[in-house]
Amino acid sequence: MTELPFDASRRLTGANLFFATTGAQLETVGLEVDAALLAAWQERISRARAHLGWPQAELSVRRHAGGVSLALAAPCDQLYTATEVNEWALCAALSAREPGRWPGLEQALGAAALEEAGAGATVIPPVLAADAALARFSQLAQSEARPALMRLLAAAAARDLPYVLDDDILTLGAAAGGRDFELATLPSPEVVPWDAVHDVPTALVTGSNGKTTTVRLLAACAAAHGWPAAYCCTDGVFLGTTTLASGDYSGPVGARLVMRARGARCAVVETARGGILRRGIALSHAHVALVTNVGADHFGEYGIDDLSGLADVKLSVAGVLRPAGLLVLNADDAQLLAKAPGLAARFGRAPRLGWFAADADAGPLQAHRATGGATCGVRDGRLLLHWAGAQHDLGAVTAMPLTVAGSAAYNVANLAAAALGAAALGVPPAAIAAVFARFGAALEDNPGRLMRFERGGVQVLVDYAHNPDGLRGLLHVAQHLRGGAGRLGLLLGHAGNRQDAEIAALAAAAAEFSPALVVVKENEAHLRGREPGEVPRLLRAALRRAGLSESALPLRMSELEAVQCALEWARPGDVLVLPVHSAAARAAVLELLSAPGSGAGAPA
């Protein structure tokens, strides 16, 4: 049978990466996609949209190492039909151009549709002839249409209200101002209690490193201002100190839980690369969108092969900003600095920007302040927020517990980013400064991130560092704590869904600091397609190439065993760096380090 020219296993729909609205996307496989093919694809999509009464809205074509991503915007109650339109437009264009090469394409589409639907399901078979295909789309669109939903969304838009939507529930408003409605029994707009439906200050946080810390800082600032905050991150969903769900909730499910937390008067949402690429951004509106940085990680997945493509993914958060919202960006990140001028063309309007950097007087920050823009950075050892035309001194960086006496440069960046984000949400600078003066002094402030313990004269850092940039930042803190004495020991593992080159790069980053011990671990909770032992073998080989001796590279097949090995090796004066990634292993490690008599403690 003829092979399909697209990846049938990846029918991506949702609040699409390419748009600030909903859409459908397909990935080509084994095709040379030239201008003529694209024109034929576009013409057919235009014809289908006109037939279905859809707006002639955005189309996107993105080339990458694995092929081409083809995406179209569509009404949110027509996403299944939109995937069918997208696939037909490509396949019909190919069949018309090269019928001899694609003789069984219609049959292949039919087989794929039957396989996806499953046994016993009713399937309207795909066809390539235009008139028959358009008639089929009319049937699909009619069966998928939710006119009651679209009326409610239009009514919410007229009132400038946000919403979140899943397969069962529509939520109008947000958090304390939200109301939930089952899709099966939606009311008419006339009976919705609109006076009780409202928005709350909402922030969306993404980036390669620092997302969770920044989310927690924003939530703490909101709480200090008297706003109970709901937030989600890679550790779960929380309302203040109450855990609503545990696990990695840095995707759309976490976002919806946050926006449905009725006790919250502020919402802070971590949104990671994977969730954006698979299902988009669940929020319809945000007052703040924040990108911490863009680092080499997760290449080779979903058509993202380089830093430029990854930056485009991260910057998609700008698409849901309210017109007066603030996009907070890192001026020390070359990708973000380069792409900022193109955001107006990408999203149809230029977002209001806030820039942060290590140096408050860096060129981009000075230029931005000269036009009245908001910035945050360090001058003479003090973190300075420039907001609404005034300068606010947030305090000495070395006195902020999160910075470990200023050695954690990455947390200085997270603090600067959070300061801009909190100010844009409406938190006064004095409240921000008060949070920064204490946040990180207690272990529960930022669990799993830069947690410090002392055990029998050994200083121990527990963290989530999972890529070269994150590991370097953590090891710089360890070097500061060593103070030129003692030995450095660390754990090293990686998730299986990374390319071999990324695994080797993590090992190279560790070797830069000349550790006396590297316990190579199996990240047993994140094999992700690799065989047990495969990632540790790659890490050990890269460390040996970097000059570390065999005796300095013990291997352990679980994270907890690796921690125990490092603790047994350490002696007074040493510093141990323990990146622990699974929730279960981290809980066991924290219990071990916090046991009576362990000497554990957080920084004062």
Q: What is the mean pLDDT of each run of 10 residues along the chain (604 residues)?
A: 78 53 84 94 97 90 87 91 95 93 91 80 90 97 96 96 94 97 96 96 95 97 98 95 93 95 97 81 94 80 80 92 97 97 92 98 97 98 97 98 95 98 98 97 91 93 88 93 91 87 92 95 85 92 94 94 95 95 87 70 38
Neighbours of 448 (CB within 10 A): 22
Residue 604: the pLDDT is 27
Residue 26's nearest CA partner among 37, 43, 11, 41 is 11
Token output for 3: 């092979």
| Integer Cα distance of 391 and 33 in angstroms | 52
Q: Is the separation of the CB atoms in 347 and 334 below 8 Å? A: no
| Integer Cα distance of 599 and 604 in angstroms | 14
Residue 485: the pLDDT is 86
Q: Is the separation of the CB atoms in 182 and 199 below 8 Å? A: no
Residue 597: the pLDDT is 57
Give 430's contacts (C-beta < 8 A, 6+ positions apart).
none
Give 559's contacts (C-beta < 8 A, 6+ positions apart).
491, 493, 521, 522, 523, 524, 525, 580, 581, 582, 585, 589
Give 114's contacts (C-beta < 8 A, 6+ positions apart).
123
| Integer Cα distance of 204 and 337 in angstroms | 19
pTM: 0.89
> Which residue type occupies 557?
M
> Which residue type occupies 461?
L
Q: For the chain, how big is the Rg over CA atoms in Å? A: 26
| Integer Cα distance of 559 and 581 in angstroms | 8
Residue 260: the pLDDT is 97
Vertex 75, ends 69 and 79: CA angle to 5°? 55
